[in-house]
């Protein structure tokens, strides 16, 4: 073995294999490979099937993990399993929040914001389709919350950036 069992490079390979299955419309195999990627990155995660996700407290800050959750969401979306797709996009958002705490470069933050906007648009499309299928108004509420959360993240980042700028300003009073 070249890499240890829980190595990030192994998880990336699982994601690449999943992408090939996805391109060939073999969504079940793609889901299995994305799940292997997640299992590789999260040592204590032993799912019974490809629908299961780790506990939120076990998530780690890793872009490969986001790729796996986004990939699973895309597979579920094309299988018309909207709730599962939305759930996996939400896991991507959680991992992204962890990453934002770690990364400080402006370009990384911009890339993450772009990915979040795209992910939010996909969730909104799924919620809209779910609403059309079920007429369940909770889909509208969830869509509203998703857009508000997306805006709140941007505002929070902006406020944090301004606080850093003013940190050496003797005219600013901190509480």
DSSP letter, residue 51: T
pLDDT band at 20 (very low <50, low <70, confident <90, very high): very high
DSSP letter, residue 172: P
For residues 162 and 133, give the distance between their C-alpha atoms in angstroms, rounded to a whole number: 44
For residues 47 and 55, give the distance between their C-alpha atoms in angstroms, rounded to a whole number: 11
**H helix or E strand, kind and range, residue 21:** helix 8-23
Surface-to-core class of residue 114, CB atoms within 10 Å of its CB (0-12 exposed, 13-18 middle, 19+ buried): exposed
For residues 82 and 68, give the distance between their C-alpha atoms in angstroms, rounded to a whole number: 17
For residues 37 and 58, give the distance between their C-alpha atoms in angstroms, rounded to a whole number: 15
Are 7 and 40 within 8 A, CB to CB? yes
The pLDDT tens digits for 58-89 are: 999 999 999 999 999 999 999 999 999 999 99
Percent of the chain with pLDDT over 90: 49
pTM for the full predicted model:
0.75
């Amino acid at each position: 073995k070249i890499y240890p069992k829980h190595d990030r490079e192994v998880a990336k390979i699982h994601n690449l294999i999943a992408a090939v299955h996805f391109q060939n419309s073999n969504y079940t195999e793609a889901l299995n490979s994305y799940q292997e990627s997640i299992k590789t990155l999260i040592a204590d995660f032993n799912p019974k099937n490809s629908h299961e996700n780790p506990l939120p407290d076990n998530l780690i800050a890793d872009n490969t993990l986001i790729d796996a959750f986004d990939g699973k969401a895309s597979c579920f979306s094309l299988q018309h399993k909207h709730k599962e797709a939305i759930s996996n996009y939400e896991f991507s958002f959680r991992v992204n929040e962890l990453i934002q705490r770690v990364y400080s470069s402006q370009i990384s933050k911009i890339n993450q914001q772009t990915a979040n906007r795209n992910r939010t648009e996909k969730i909104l499309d799924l919620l809209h389709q779910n609403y059309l299928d079920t007429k369940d108004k909770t889909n509208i509420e969830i869509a509203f919350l998703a857009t508000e959360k997306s805006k709140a993240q941007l505002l929070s980042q902006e406020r944090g950036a301004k606080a850093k700028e003013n940190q050496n300003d003797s005219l600013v009073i901190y509480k």
